[in-house]
């Protein structure tokens, strides 16, 4: 029968083509040429309909045997190619476990975080606790409850970031919005006094925001650390002794400390605290601008008006507050001339600490 002979010949040539294929792509081309919709076997099988009824069973059996033989050969050849490809991949991706590993540089604590924790540890050792509050604050807590008058320059939009109205209206400006990014961590003190009964000994570190252009001595965002004490019988002497202890712990026992009269809306009397310059030991140099002193922080006795906002009896209780910038403390302690170094992420600078 001519059709059966043609099928047998197709099996022989097909198996030879499969065995001669060099890769998976070539093998796929052979499969399509033999078994595809327009393949050789498909074309031969179309002739089954023209056979006599008694010839069709024998021809159908042979066609099935041919198809099965070709499919098995294709599968076997594909398995060979797949195994070879896997072996090449494993060889290419092999890892020599005997080679020394690549040591990753360990992470380091940022200098500002390090200084903030160091300051916190000093005051925790004196019995203070850490207090926190929101960075998006109300005008009342940031200014009003701290005895800041309505016409104070710090309340201007040129100094403070006011928050846009959440209703989606145009951006608000000072005087039209009572929501802002806190300019100090003093609002934390007000919130603690509102919800606590003296005695109060807290330290409030956190980020604050001001409309300052970044320069060697100013940053628009920095870390402020403020302290508050409210108790019976607190005097300015307690404030002075506390800050002298802090300065000696932070900068060294040989550093001299002085307090200069100053003004802050929420403390009276108020002072600024200086320590002797570590470069010239008070003789005067470029670092201290010839004065022999470096300004460290501001402080003062809590103004009785502030107690009035939080319901604390100023006749029974007194207290003091102080505030400092962690960036400034770090700059003074480690001799960093430009605060911008702390935010530029230059690893050559940061790795020094």
| pLDDT of 171 higher than 60 | no
CA angle 241, 313, 315 (to 5 degrees): 70
Q: Which helix (H) or strand (E) holds 34?
A: helix 24-35
Which pLDDT belongs to residue 283? 79
- Domain co-membership, 246 together with 343: yes
99 located within any domain = no
- Domain co-membership, 11 together with 133: no
The 3-state secondary structure of 201-225, one letter per residue: EEEEEEEEECCCCCECCECCEEEEE
pLDDT tens digits, 255-290: 899 999 999 999 999 999 999 887 777 777 777 788
106 located within any domain = no
Tokens representing 165 are 């109205």
The helix/strand/coil state of 132 is: coil
| pLDDT of 1 higher than 60 | no
Which pLDDT belongs to residue 172? 44
How large is the average pLDDT for residues 299-314?
96
| pLDDT of 165 higher than 90 | no
Which pLDDT belongs to residue 223? 96
Domain count, the chain: 2
162 located within any domain = yes
Which pLDDT belongs to residue 22? 80
Give residue 118's domain range. Answer: 111-350
Among 3-7, 134-138, 219-223, 272-276, whose mean pLDDT is lowest? 3-7
Give one DSSP letter per residue of 258-272, joined into a string: EEEEEEETTEEEEEE
Ramachandran angles phi, psi of 267, nearest 5°: -130, 145
Upper half-sphere CA count for residue 160 (Cβ side, 13 Å): 28
Which pLDDT belongs to residue 100? 86
pLDDT tens digits, 12-37: 887 888 888 888 788 788 778 777 77
65: confidence class by pLDDT, cuts 50, 70, 90? confident
220 located within any domain = yes
Which pLDDT belongs to residue 56? 66
| pLDDT of 122 higher than 90 | yes
How large is the average pLDDT for residues 332-343?
89
- Domain co-membership, 264 together with 172: yes
The residue from 40, 63, 92 where one domain ends is: 92
How large is the average pLDDT for residues 180-187?
95
Q: What CATH number is associated with residue 292?
A: 3.30.930.10
- Domain co-membership, 149 together with 47: no
How large is the average pLDDT for residues 319-347?
91
- Domain co-membership, 85 together with 199: no
Q: Which residues contact 345 (CB under 8 A, 6 or more apart)?
A: none
Q: Which helix (H) or strand (E) holds 7?
A: helix 2-20
228 located within any domain = yes
Tokens 């300015």, located at residue: 236
The helix/strand/coil state of 324 is: strand
Which pLDDT belongs to residue 168? 52
- Domain co-membership, 122 together with 254: yes
Q: Which residues of 250-260 are buried (b: 16+ CB within 10 A; e: fewer)?
A: bbeeebebebe
Closest alpha carbon to 243 in 196, 294, 297, 195 = 297
- Domain co-membership, 331 together with 262: yes
- Domain co-membership, 166 together with 305: yes
Mean pLDDT of the chain: 86
- Domain co-membership, 170 together with 315: yes
Among 43-47, 295-299, 300-304, whose mean pLDDT is lowest? 43-47
- Domain co-membership, 309 together with 344: yes
- Domain co-membership, 189 together with 272: yes
Q: How many CB atoms lie within 10 A of CB 272?
A: 17
Tokens representing 350 are 């940061």
Which pLDDT belongs to residue 321? 97
- Domain co-membership, 130 together with 222: yes
Which pLDDT belongs to residue 232? 97
């Amino acid at each position: 029968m001519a059709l059966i002979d043609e099928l047998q010949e197709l099996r022989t040539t097909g198996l030879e083509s499969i065995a001669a294929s060099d890769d998976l792509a070539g093998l796929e081309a052979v499969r399509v040429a033999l078994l595809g919709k327009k393949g050789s076997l498909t074309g031969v099988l179309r002739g089954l309909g023209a056979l006599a009824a008694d010839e069709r069973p024998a021809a159908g059996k042979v066609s099935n045997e041919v198809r099965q033989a070709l499919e098995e050969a294709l599968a076997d050849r594909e398995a060979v190619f797949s195994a070879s490809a896997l072996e090449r991949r494993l060889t290419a991706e092999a890892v020599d476990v005997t080679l020394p590993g690549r040591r990753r540089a360990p992470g380091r604590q940022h200098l500002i975080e390090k200084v903030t924790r160091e300051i916190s540890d000093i005051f925790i050792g004196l019995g203070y606790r850490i207090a926190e509050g929101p960075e998006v604050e109300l005008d009342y807590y940031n200014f009003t409850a701290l005895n800041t008058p309505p016409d104070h320059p710090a309340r201007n939009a040129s100094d403070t970031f006011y928050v846009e109205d959440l209703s989606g209206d145009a951006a608000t400006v000072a005087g039209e919005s009572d929501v802002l990014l806190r300019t100090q961590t003093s609002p934390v003190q007000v919130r603690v006094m509102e919800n606590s009964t003296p005695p109060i000994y807290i330290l409030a570190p956190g980020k604050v925001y001001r409309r300052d252009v970044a320069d060697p001595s100013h940053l628009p965002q920095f870390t402020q650390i403020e302290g508050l004490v409210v108790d019976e019988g607190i005097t300015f002497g307690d404030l002075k002794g506390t800050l002298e202890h802090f300065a000696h712990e932070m900068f060294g026992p040989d550093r001299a400390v002085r307090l200069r009269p100053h003004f802050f809306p929420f403390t009276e009397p108020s002072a600024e605290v200086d320590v002797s310059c570590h470069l010239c030991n008070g003789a005067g140099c470029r670092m201290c601008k010839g004065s022999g002193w470096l300004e460290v922080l501001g402080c003062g006795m809590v103004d009785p008006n502030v107690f009035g906002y939080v319901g604390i009896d100023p006749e029974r209780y007194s207290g003091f507050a102080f505030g400092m910038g962690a960036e400034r403390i770090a700059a003074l302690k480690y001799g960093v001339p430009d605060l911008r170094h702390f935010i530029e992420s230059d690893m050559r600078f940061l790795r020094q600490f």
